[in-house]
Amino acid sequence: MRGSSITLPLVVVLSCAYQPPKFAVTHTEQRGRIDGNGLRFVIMPDRGATVAEVAVRYDVGSSDDPVGKAGLAHLVEHLMFQIRPDAPNAKPLRYYIERLATKWNAYTTYDETHYYTVAAPRQLETVLQLEAIRLHDGCTSISEDEFAREREVVRNEIRQRTGTPEGQIEPLLLASLVQRISRPESLATTRGASRICRLSCKDIICAVCDVSAYSSPCA
Ligand SMILES: [Zn+2]
């Protein structure tokens, strides 16, 4: 027998040594509060960023929905894009946001309503102006037709998200974990989808224009 060869396995040892990321966080956070209206703000300038984001959070969510008016906070979130600051037949706020933003949206959780807009840095002032309009104008310029259409949109969203047994898990878990939530239907379960049909345009105007009325049913 001629000499046999032995094949040795090739072992490649990959280094597991930690490699720090090659970028550095350079922004300096600034926090403050505006005396006139209590608005709290956080500014995080980052000169390496190619876009600017404006995120506005309202401390109101579905757990604040008055008894029998489940879905109100979520519906207000939708309608805040339909404000017509110039005139009843003028373009809604959403029209202007869509034209300058690279990304935008909003969502409502059990304790907050959150709007965000991402745009080119040169548009920052305009985005802030649009958010100021949303904060100032409320829902008084919403027509009955728009109200009915968005109510149906929200109703369908609730049915899509919670219309299955597994879709009910998260809201029911939250209701059991968070003491503040005493009404699971306020988390937009399928029961919320049917109850939202009872909401009227007046409920919305009442909720947005009078914060004190928001915690109790409108007269
Ligand atoms: Zn929605």
> Tell me: the pLDDT tens digits for 98-112?
999 999 999 998 889
Tokens at 41, concatenated: 């703000």
pLDDT at 211: 45
In sequence order, the β-bridge partners of residue 54 are: 117
User: How many Å lie between the centroid of ligand 1 and the Cα of residue 157?
Assistant: 6
Sheet containing strand 52-58, strands side by side: 52-58, 113-119, 101-108
pLDDT band at 125 (very low <50, low <70, confident <90, very high): very high
User: How many Å lie between the centroid of ligand 1 and the Cα of residue 73?
Assistant: 10
User: How many Å lie between the centroid of ligand 1 and the Cα of residue 189?
Assistant: 13
Model confidence over 33-72: pLDDT tens digits? 998 888 999 999 888 889 999 999 999 888 888 877 778 8
pLDDT at 105: 97
pLDDT at 4: 53
Does 77 qualify as catalytic in the annotation? yes
Closest-CA residue to 53 (of 127, 126, 117, 129): 117
pLDDT at 193: 58
Who has greater pLDDT, 163 or 122?
122
Decide: residue 111, CB within 10 A, 0-12 exposed, 13-18 middle, 19+ buried. middle
Could you give the 3-state DSSP secondary structure of residue 58?
strand
User: How many Å lie between the centroid of ligand 1 and the Cα of residue 48?
Assistant: 33
Domain range annotation of the chain: 30-210
Which among 29, 53, 77, 125 is annotated as catalytic?
77
Closest-CA residue to 108 (of 43, 192, 39): 192
Q: How far apart are CA 192 and CA 143, in angstroms?
A: 23
Looking at domain 30-210, which CATH architecture does it have? 2-Layer Sandwich (3.30)
